[in-house]
Structures are given as structure tokens and as C-alpha cells.
Amino acid sequence: MLIVMQRQTTEAARDDVREWVEARGLRTRSFSVGRETVVACSPPDIEVDRRALQRLPGVARIESSPHPLVARASGPRGSVALGDGVVAGGTELIVAAGPCSVETASGLRDAAWAVRSSGAQLLRGGAFKPRTSPYSFQGLGVDGLRLLAEVRAETGLPVVTEVTDPRLVETVAEHADILQVGARSMQNVPLLRELGLIQRPILLKRGLSASVTEFLLAAEYVMVGGNSNVILCERGIRTFETTTRFTLDLAAVPVLQREAHLPVFVDPSHSAGTRDLVEPLAYAAVAAGADGLLVEVHTAPETAWSDSDQALDPLAFDRMMRGLAGFAAAAGRHLPLPEPTLRREVVG
């Protein structure tokens, strides 16, 4: 439940409202949204006399939501600063690109320069890789984080990488700009709570079989801890269809933007499962209104240690980026691209 206070209300009136609500067993948190003060109340299953609450001095209106901090009603669509001037949720389309997993220093460096030369604003790469099979490559761990930090220093690209364990949050935050919560970890409550205690951008991926409401409640876990820098990422859900790795739920993009005030990214690589589908799915995601994309790019996809089938090579990524510009413009967004001659020198 969200209590929106009248614009000219006093702090004393707000405190009286909080005391009234807390006396009935709810927890409260107040924050400003534009010119309005909002009191968020949780948990949502505790009922109060709303007519009596509405009559309290200073109360403008009451909004109901199972995820009040995430809800669109709590404020206009927001933006999240990602580092080096990159902002998600604005007019610029954000593209994070790089290998699925960090493998070698030279491979990561070459991929980073390639995606940067084609216009990517963020470098993605996994140092910790939770895989379905315990025998699959699990990532380089802390050594991978160090490589990401080194390449960030060389290229200037802010880094997004996955954190898999609450005990690793501080370590990953020391090396990366954006902490990713993978699909398998979307309902890892201890991890979400720990991420709520830091002030770093969190890229939260939708679970393999999660509903939109479950997805938003996962984001609420982070925000209730005090970290409002959350980006939602649709990456495909598990359905009966087998021609793609996952079914990309593009309807989730406008639904999430209707229900929440957070930026929404799309990962076409994981949903496609094969590289020939990544480009059209990326175009469709931008047309659907996505604020950004996560794309897997490897300098030699056939040799990639993980998810080789869905990784683009630098030339294919460059072609996709040039194609994206038109879709971005049609969707009212801007995708800044380097001069074509400069791109060809690096990726050709």
C-alpha cells in the first residue's frame, strides 16, 4: 500500500500518518517522488481501515500494490546511472555486449574493443557462471572479475557481471559497475536482500518460469532494502515451444513499463539459443519499447567455452548495431554509433 501525501503537507502530518499505520502492525518507509511525498506500507496482506486513513490530515490518496516500491504509481518512469555517463531509462538505447563468460585476458580484451567500436556502451561478461550441469565450465571467479576490471580501465566500458552468492556481493561490487542477478537466482531471497543494502545498479533477470508479478516482487526485495537502482531484464521463459531455447515474452516489455517505473532490458541471446535469431529478436525488443539490450559477442564463437551457439561474432554484432539504429529512432530513442570507417577498422 502506498499513501501519497498532499504536496503542501508538513513533516509532522507525515509522521502522524506513519505512526497511525505502524500502530496497526505495518512497517513504513517514506520517500519523495517529484514534488510528492509517499509513505510505503508493508506487508500488503495486513488490512487497515482505509476510510479512517484517508481522513487523516495530509493524505491525498491511497494506492494498492503487492509491490509498492516498484509500482508505477509510486512515481514516473525512472532512470538508473550505470557509470561513465551511461544512463538506462532515458532516450538513449543502451547495449551491453561481450562474451557469455570471461575466458582469457586476450579474448575478453578483443571482444571489448570490438563491441565498443560498434557502439556498445557496456561490457558484459560472466566471471561466475551457474550452469545446469556441475561438469560445465563455471567461470574464472575472482580472476575473471580482475580481468573485467582491467579491460574496463583500458576501454572505458562500464562492466555488468553476475553475482551468484550473497557472500560475493562485496567482492563483485569492487570490480563491476552493475551487478546482474541471473534467471536462476531471481528468487534467491538472501542474495536479493544483500543487494538491497548496496547502492549499485542491479540488473535483475526474469526467472525461467516466473510470472510478471513474481518478477516484480523480486525487484521489490531489492528496493525494500534501500537500493532503488534496479533494471528489469526479460530473457525468455520456459514454455512448450522447442524451436527456440526459451520463448521471448516481448509483451512483458510494455507490461513491465505499465506496472513499474523501472527501466526494462531484453536479452535476445539467451532466449534465441541460436545466433541467427538474435538480430531479429533484438529489433523486435527495441520496437516493443525496451530501454536496452544484453547481447553475447565472442571473437570466435565456435570456440566459446559456454553458449557458443548463440554468440555473435564482431561482424554480425556490427551489422546488428547498424540495423538497430533505425528501430531505435522509430521507437523515439537514440543509439549513438561511431563513424562507419572507424568500426570497419576494428571489426573488419
Query: What's the CA gap between 194 and 172, in Å, rounded?
Result: 12
Contacts of 322 (CB under 8 A, 6+ apart): 337, 340
> What was the pLDDT predicted at 99?
97
Q: What is the CA radius of gyration of the chain?
A: 21
Domains in the chain, CATH or no CATH each: 2-64 (3.30.70.1140), 80-347 (3.20.20.70)
> What was the pLDDT predicted at 33?
60
Query: What's the CA gap between 327 and 272, in Å, rounded?
Result: 19
58-104 pLDDT per residue, tens: 999 888 888 878 988 766 677 899 988 899 999 999 999 999 999 99
Cell of 63: 494506492
> What was the pLDDT predicted at 224?
82
> What was the pLDDT predicted at 344?
44
329-345 pLDDT per residue, tens: 999 999 999 876 555 44
In degrees rounded to 5, what are phi and psi of residue 299? -70, -25
Q: What is the pTM of this model?
A: 0.86
Query: What's the CA gap between 44 and 207, in Å, rounded?
Result: 23
Helix (H, G, I), strand (E, B) or coil at 230: strand
Residues of the chain where predicted confidence (pLDDT) is lower than 70: 33-34, 74-76, 340-348
